[in-house]
Amino acid sequence: MAMRQSTSGRAPAGRLLMPATTLLSRNDVATKCLTTPLAYGYMRVPAGLPDRKVRGLEQAVIRYAHSLDLRFVSFFFEFHCGARDGFDELVTELVRTQTRHVVVPSLRHLALNTLLQDAMRERLVLDAGAQVHAMRSRTTE
């Protein structure tokens, strides 16, 4: 988030620098952090995908989570075709932290097959009470 600098380069006492339209007290910021729902990301990263492309996709997912008024925590990844270790760890973490939101670039990051996508979304709902937010609605990424 772009921060507004004061002319002295420092924030007024008891205030955090925020965008030009909003100046919040520390208590307001703390309250917002406590009340903003958490979200985790999940991505499949094929072998050979350039790091810069992965990083760009990560940043886009984080921006999308923020646009939904979610506080993004971290990513869970799959690096091998057919692997589910990252997904299983995600479900465990969602249950442990009582987090109810998962953000993905598209549903194809859950699975290529739409029936498997539905099954994985159902597991997130039933096991963790979480909903999936797909950054792109099309599933042909």
**Full domain range(s) for residue 99:** 38-134
| Number of structural domains found in the chain | 1
Specify the CATH number for the domain of residue 80. 3.40.50.1390
Average pLDDT over residues 49-74: 97
pTM to 2 decimal places: 0.75
At 72-129, the pLDDT tens digits run 999 999 999 889 999 999 999 999 999 999 999 999 999 999 999 999 999 999 999 9
At 63 the pLDDT is 98
Nearest of 70, 110, 115 to residue 90 by alpha carbon: 110
At 11-45, the pLDDT tens digits run 444 444 444 445 556 665 555 566 899 999 999 99
